[in-house]
Chain A
Amino acid sequence: MAWFPLATPTTLETQLNINDYIACTHCDALYRRSPLEPGQSAICRDCGAEVTWEGEGRHEVVLAMAISGLILFAVACSFPVLSIQVGSQIESSSLISTTLKLVQSGFWGLAASMVLFVILYPALTFIGATIVIAGLELLPPKRRPILAVTLRWVTTLMPWSMTGVYVIGIFVSLVKLAKMAEVIPGAALFALIALIPISLMLRTQLSRETLWRRLEDA
């Protein structure tokens, strides 16, 4: 890692290949790139944030996580999350019925939170990641701009998908209701629980830097 004397803006840097450099998004420190092993990360020595990490060779993992995420997500949407039984009466709640109930009560803000953060954004992240990774392998370079758009919304939406938080909410309600009635966990609850490590893997194994570089090189 060489440190150069301060350059005046524009002149020195533009003569060098810009792709040899990388900067920390948290403190703006500029580094000359050095090659990283797959899975290795570069930490900013000024602020301690991760500057980049090498995701080459992890694309299969990301694809596997994205596809299993999609399948589990389909399960989570089609079965009840929880049911309560009182006497012979059973009341079930699924992701869809929860949303509809909130719409019926006129609580649009809450319904929107459900639709966006629990249903739409997680689903779009899985679909988007699948499209990007599969597309890099299958699509001819001419069609790659679609992938750039997709990768852009995948990385934008990721912090807004809240499956894990929703599961905690379910657990709290499960415990709260257990005194009142018999609570039966549904297939969707197990799917949602399984989605937590999968979204986490997807989030940590997908290297934004590496994918963008691949997209540009193509």
Chain B
Amino acid sequence: MPDHPWPTRQTEPADQRRTAARCGLYICHVCGRLSAPADALRRRHGLACPRCRAALHPRKPESLHRTLALLVTAAVLYLPANLLPVMTISRFGQDEPTTILQGVQALIAAQLWLLAVVVFAASIVVPMLKISTLGYLIWSVRTGEKNRRRDRTRLYHIAESVGQWSMVDVFLVAVLVSLVDLDFLAVITPGHGATFFAAVVVLTMLATHAFDPRLIWDAAESSYHEQ
């Protein structure tokens, strides 16, 4: 890692921070350019970035509502994703539907511990942690929590970076379905649980994207809301 020109401060940052919003500046979410309203492009629906032409907002619009809506949908779909079979193994004329948890059980039964841990972490732990983390972040912003802003921002970072790993099970099903199609041995067909599961992963990724971590910081700094 290269040296940081600006030392990281370990104490909790002061409430009166110098922020872009307080100086009346917009950060472009696509290219990162700062714009004052005076040099931004004017569009029918508001301001746009002069460099990349993306729409400019002081904060992601309707961030909390959108995040919550996506999160609730993901949480609801998480039930059929786990209860419905993700695939059906047909062997010797017998159909054997498998849910995600049963898949993990089969790996444990076969004593493939490492794989069992990987699949369990990716399919069960990560989505649940993601949904509860984002839920907690929304709640903390709503209640105006002022402490541990740095830690909560980090939490958001983690939720952001682990998102796509839950897709492992969906891709596992895809590979097995295309490969195991031997009438005399076994045939694997996909189940609707896999579709629901893919939807959950996409929805939680969209929810993370919809959340604006700057709201964590705004709670302690009233001036943004006054504008």
Q: Residues of A with Cβ closer than 8 Å to B? A: 1, 3-4, 6-7, 9-10, 12-14, 18, 21-23, 25-31, 34, 36-37, 39-49, 52-53, 81-84, 86, 89, 91-93, 97-98, 101-102, 105, 107, 109-110, 113-114, 117-118, 148, 151-152, 155-156, 159-160, 162, 165-166, 168-173, 175-177, 179-181, 208-209, 212, 215-216
Q: Residues of B with Cβ closer than 8 Å to A? A: 1-9, 13, 16-25, 27, 29-39, 51-54, 106-107, 110, 112, 115, 118-119, 122, 149-150, 153-154, 156-157, 163-165, 167-182, 184-186, 189-190, 194-195, 198-199, 202, 205, 213-214, 216-218, 227
From B6, B22, B25, give the contact of A18 (CB < 8 A). B25
A-B contact pairs, 13 of them (CB 8 A): A6-B22, A7-B22, A23-B25, A25-B214, A28-B214, A45-B7, A105-B177, A165-B168, A168-B165, A172-B119, A173-B176, A177-B179, A212-B32
Which 6 residue pairs spanning A and B have beta carbons closest together?
A9-B24, A169-B171, A93-B178, A23-B20, A98-B178, A109-B195
Nearest residue, chain A, Cβ from B50: A216
Is the beta-carbon distance between A98 and B174 smaller than 8 angstroms? yes
Q: How many angstroms between the C-alpha atoms of A98 and B4 in the bound complex?
A: 46
Is the beta-carbon distance between B19 and A152 smaller than 8 angstroms? no
For B30, list chain A residues within 8 Å (CB): 152, 155-156
Q: How many angstroms between the C-alpha atoms of A113 and B200 in the bound complex?
A: 12
Is the beta-carbon distance between B6 and A91 smaller than 8 angstroms? no
A157 to chain B, nearest CB (A): 12
Q: How many angstroms between the C-alpha atoms of A177 and B150 in the bound complex?
A: 45
Known: A1-B6, A81-B175. 16 other contacts (CB 8 A): A18-B35, A26-B213, A28-B19, A29-B19, A34-B6, A40-B3, A46-B9, A46-B13, A52-B32, A98-B174, A165-B171, A166-B171, A173-B175, A175-B112, A180-B185, A208-B32
For B177, list chain A residues within 8 Å (CB): 98, 101-102, 105
For A179, list chain B residues within 8 Å (CB): 110
Is the beta-carbon distance between B167 and A216 smaller than 8 angstroms? no
Identify the interface centre among B16, B20, B33, B216: most chain A CB within 10 Å of its CB: B20
From A27, A53, A168, A176, give the contact of B213 (CB < 8 A). A27
From A29, A168, A170, A212, give the contact of B31 (CB < 8 A). A212
Is the beta-carbon distance between B150 and A110 smaller than 8 angstroms? no
From A42, A47, A102, A216, give the contact of B217 (CB < 8 A). A47
Q: How many angstroms between the C-alpha atoms of A54 and B169 in the bound complex?
A: 37
For B171, list chain A residues within 8 Å (CB): 113-114, 118, 162, 165-166, 168-170
| A-B pairs under 8 A by CB, number | 259
Given the known interface contacts A26-B153, A45-B8, A45-B9, the answer about A107 and B195 at a Cβ–Cβ threshold of 8 Å is: yes
Is the beta-carbon distance between A93 and B175 smaller than 8 angstroms? yes
Q: How many angstroms between the C-alpha atoms of A162 and B201 in the bound complex?
A: 12
B73 to chain A, nearest CB (A): 14
Is the beta-carbon distance between A209 and B32 smaller than 8 angstroms? yes
From B19, B36, B173, B181, give the contact of A23 (CB < 8 A). B19
Is the beta-carbon distance between A208 and B31 smaller than 8 angstroms? yes
Nearest residue, chain A, Cβ from B29: A25
Q: How many angstroms between the C-alpha atoms of A171 and B150 in the bound complex?
A: 37
Nearest residue, chain A, Cβ from B31: A212
Q: How many angstroms between the C-alpha atoms of A166 and B146 in the bound complex?
A: 40
Q: How many angstroms between the C-alpha atoms of A22 and B25 in the bound complex?
A: 10
Is the beta-carbon distance between B198 and A148 smaller than 8 angstroms? no
B109 to chain A, nearest CB (A): 11
Nearest residue, chain A, Cβ from B189: A105
Q: How many angstroms between the C-alpha atoms of A43 and B180 in the bound complex?
A: 49
Q: How many angstroms between the C-alpha atoms of A6 and B21 in the bound complex?
A: 11
Is the beta-carbon distance between A28 and B174 smaller than 8 angstroms? no
For B112, list chain A residues within 8 Å (CB): 175
